[in-house]
């Protein structure tokens, strides 16, 4: 396709209902979910995202078996898991062992439930893969409510959160009830990831959470700046990735991940070259 024809082609595609829904979901996840990534990077709880992918998959499987809205079951199960992790971990990093236990348990149960539900292997794979183009308005609304809710709470409790993200013990000695805050944090992060799983797929939720946060960490000199840059990187990566997926007629999930990854890699490379020179 010639470059002059690219924009009209994109606008034509944007007239289609699934593409419109995908476009809205792209913007929403690009803005709100990088905040989740910032918290995960700050607390060093990277295994949380894998844990939630597994638990969300179990939730989706239970939803399929019982005929209940799969995303809601996934969100509910992840909320329970997040609250449990937050309540039992003295410091957020202490939750790593529990997460290591939960991951294989959740995936094993998910396979059992999927087998019991008679879900075909290809359909089970679709749960892992997901697609922003098949998202329903209800699923997009759920991401909007959860993501924007988290964003508002992060702004309200920014002082408590920033000290907790620096060091939970230091925050606690400053009168911040970090144990309660941990429950809120873990639950919020878990719910946000579960809500996004249907849009990006369980395996690709990293693209809209961790990768923008890693890009922002390389550039930022303060936590608020990192949060804003993560949102900018998330939105840019998502929009570029979404447009590329449409133009190349490729599955959006992997293109979103590769775009976000390319952005992260380019940022780090440019910074490294600058430091050398």
Partner 1 sequence: MRPSRLDVSQLTCRAGRHTLLQDVNLTLVPGEHVALLGANGAGKTSLLRAILGLLPATSGEIRLDGRLQPRPCPATWPKAMAWIPQRPPRGQVPFRVKDLLAAPSAWAWAQRLGIAPLATRPLTHLSGGELQRVFIARALGQVAAGTGLVLADEPTAALDFEGQDEIGAILTALPVTMLLITHDPAQAARCHRALTMAHGKLRPYASAL
What track of x and - describes contact with partner 1 for positions 162 through 181 (by CB under 8 A)?
A: x--xxx-xx-xxxxxxx---
Using the contact rule CB under 8 A, the part of the chain among 141-149, 160-168, 204-212, 243-251 near partner 1 is: 160-168
Nearest to 193 by CA among 177, 209, 182: 209
Binding to partner 1 (CB under 8 A) within 13-42 occurs at: 38, 41-42
Rounded distance between C-alpha atoms, residue 127 and residue 198, angstroms = 7
Rounded to a whole number of angstroms, the minimum distance from the CB of residue 224 to partner 1 is 9
Rounded distance between C-alpha atoms, residue 77 and residue 141, angstroms = 19
User: Residues 75, 194: contact at Cβ < 8 Å?
Assistant: yes
Give phi and psi for 90, each to the nearest 5.
-65, -45
Q: Which of 197, 204, 226, 256 binds partner 1 (CB under 8 A)?
A: 226
Rounded distance between C-alpha atoms, residue 27 and residue 133, angstroms = 13
Q: Give the count of alpha carbons within 13 A of 234, CB side only.
A: 30
What track of x and - describes contact with partner 1 for positions 178 through 217 (by CB under 8 A)?
A: x--------------------------------------x
87 binds partner 1 (CB under 8 A): no
Q: For partner 1, which is the closer residue by CB, 91 or 117?
A: 91
Residues that bind partner 1 (CB under 8 A): 38, 41-44, 162, 165-167, 169-170, 172-178, 217, 220-223, 225-226
């Amino acid at each position: 396709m010639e470059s002059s024809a690219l924009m009209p082609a994109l606008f034509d595609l944007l007239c289609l209902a699934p593409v419109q829904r995908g476009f809205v979901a792209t913007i929403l996840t690009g803005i709100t979910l990088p905040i989740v990534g910032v918290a995960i990077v700050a607390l060093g709880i990277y295994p949380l995202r894998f844990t939630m992918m597994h638990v969300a998959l179990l939730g989706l499987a239970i939803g399929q078996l019982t005929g209940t809205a799969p995303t809601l079951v996934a969100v509910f199960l992840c909320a329970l898991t997040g609250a449990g992790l937050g309540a039992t971990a003295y410091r957020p990093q202490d939750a790593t062992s529990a997460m290591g236990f939960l991951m294989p348990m959740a995936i094993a149960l998910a396979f059992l439930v999927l087998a019991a539900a008679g879900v075909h292997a290809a359909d089970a794979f679709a749960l892992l893969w997901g697609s922003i183009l098949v998202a329903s308005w209800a699923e997009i609304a759920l991401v909007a409510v959860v993501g924007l809710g988290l964003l508002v709470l992060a702004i309200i409790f920014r002082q408590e959160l920033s000290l907790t993200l620096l060091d939970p013990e230091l925050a606690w000695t400053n009168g911040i009830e970090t144990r309660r805050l941990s429950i809120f944090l873990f639950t919020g992060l878990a719910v946000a990831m579960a809500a996004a799983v249907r849009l990006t797929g369980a395996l690709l939720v990293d693209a809209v959470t961790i990768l923008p946060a890693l890009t922002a960490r390389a550039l930022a000199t303060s936590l608020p700046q990192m949060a804003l840059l993560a949102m900018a990187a998330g939105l840019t990566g998502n929009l570029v990735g979404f447009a590329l997926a449409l133009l190349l007629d490729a599955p959006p999930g992997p293109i979103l991940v590769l775009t976000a990854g390319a952005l992260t890699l380019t940022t780090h490379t440019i910074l490294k070259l600058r430091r050398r020179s």
